[in-house]
Homo-oligomer: A and B are copies of this chain.
Amino acid sequence: MKKGCPYGTHRVIEPKGALPQPAKKIDNTMEIYDNEILIDVQTLNIDSASFTQIKEEADGDVEKIKEIMKGIVAERGKHQNPVTGSGGMLIGTVAKIGPALEGKTDLKVGDKLATLVSLSLTPLVIDEITEVRKNIDQVDIKGQAILFETGIYAVLPNDIPENLALSALDVAGAPAQTAKLVRPGDTVLVIGGAGKSGMLCCYEAKRRAGVTGKVICLGHSEKSLAIAKRGNIADYYIAADATKPVEMMEKISEITNGQMADVTINNVNVPNTEMSSILATKTDGTIYFFSMATSFTKAALGAEGVGSDVNMIMGNGYTKGHAEVTLQILRDSKEIRDIYEELYA
């Protein structure tokens, strides 16, 4: 049996020396290397930006969607949308475990799991697409995939419906990072706090900041805020436009008596909110940017420009135990679970 690299570079066909994610083409033969896991795939959860593009290209036609998806995998050996660059996740069952992983992994053949590394780096074969669920970006297939040694995953729990678990796991990094950052007594601002990841962050922040802390859920539309309020996740709910730094700063200043936030979590899905995040946070506070619309230069030069010593962290989608932390929220809060079932499952 062939020996593999922990990062899967042994599967990269083009360009040589690259990692599987930036690679143009990877080897998707389903014969495993000694440190790989073979998965019988059940469902692909396509990244929202990617699936929107595919649906448009196919004019909403299901057969055309299937054709495009198969074409992507045939060309690249993985489901990485060539337009958006993004992937998604999958659910499946462990079919084989490479011998080099013995004693290293808790997985066993037959376990049902969700992969938490992107489909944009996962070797995949689609034999047949059996169902396309257009409005929740999910596609059932017959096919197989490979998980690399460093590939992260979560074994699916028995007490949470699969679709619900998948939706929450998609943003699992955010609440778990929040758990690591927030200390008792902190004032925490969650920008985009009424969104999918934002609500989980608010809940986790409230749990960590405790009765002596303050959690501010900042949303854009009153409609989302009304839903978030039902979740009972924050001490304050305010509507503001995070692309308007001065306006937002004034609102946060009012709520905090000019103290501003110790920790700010940015979960928006629009650009140009770096400066608001900086001005709303104490100069020795911390900002965690989860939003993929964050610009490195705007944040770095922005903080310097106003003489803020704030600690700015790039939202790593992974942190140890992130799946457990996130699924636990769905167990602990009936309110959030209800909202999630209504909106995302």
Which chain B residues border A294 with CB–CB below 8 Å? 296
Task: A209 to B297: give the CA distance in the assembly, Å.
Answer: 29
Residue of B nearest to A303 (CB): B316
Contacting pair B118 A304 (CB below 8 A): yes
Which 3 pairs, one residue from A and one from B, show the smallest C-beta to C-beta distance? A304-B317, A312-B314, A152-B307
Contacts of A297 in B (CB 8 A): 292
Instruction: Assess whether A244 is in contact with B316, with CB atoms less than 8 Å apart.
Output: no
Give every chain B residue within 8 A of A81 (Cβ-Cβ).
none
A317 touches B296 (CB 8 A): no
Interface of A is mostly: loop
Q: 9 additional contacts, CB 8 Å, given A9-B246, A292-B300, A309-B318?
A: A5-B246, A7-B279, A21-B305, A121-B305, A300-B315, A303-B316, A303-B317, A309-B320, A312-B313
Q: Does A306 contact B (CB under 8 A)?
A: yes
For residue A311, give the distance in angstroms from its CB to the closest CB of chain B. Answer: 7
Q: How far apart sit A9 and B275, CA to CA, in the bound complex (Å)?
A: 13
Q: Mark A83-95, 1 if CB is under 8 A from B, else 0.
A: 0000000000000
| Also in contact, A308 and B314, with CB within 8 A (given A21-B302, A294-B296, A296-B296) | no
Chain A residues with a Cβ under 8 A of chain B = 5-7, 9, 17, 19-22, 116-118, 120-121, 150-152, 173, 244-247, 275, 279, 289, 292, 294-297, 299-320
Which residue of B21, B275, B313, B317 contacts A311 across the interface (Cβ within 8 Å)? B313
A150, B120: Cα distance in complex, Å:
43
**Distance A150 CA – B117 CA, assembled complex (angstroms):** 42
A300-B292, A300-B315, A314-B296 given; A305·B246 CB < 8 A? no
Copies of this chain in the oligomer: 2
* Contact yes or no, A301 B150, CB < 8 A: no
Q: Which B residues are CB-close (under 8 A) to A309?
A: 316, 318-320
Rounded to whole Å, the gap between the CB of A37 and the closest CB of chain B is 13
Find chain B residues with CB under 8 A from A305 CB.
19-21, 117-118, 120-121
* Contact assessment for A314 and B314 in the assembled complex, using a CB-CB cutoff below 8 Å: yes
Contacts of A318 in B (CB 8 A): 303-304, 307-309
A22 to B297 alpha-carbon distance, docked (Å): 12
Given contacts A313-B313, A318-B308, contact A245 B19 (CB under 8 A): yes
Cβ-neighbour of A312 out of B117, B303, B306, B316 (below 8 A)? B316
Chain B CB within 10 A, most for which of A6, A20, A294, A309: A309
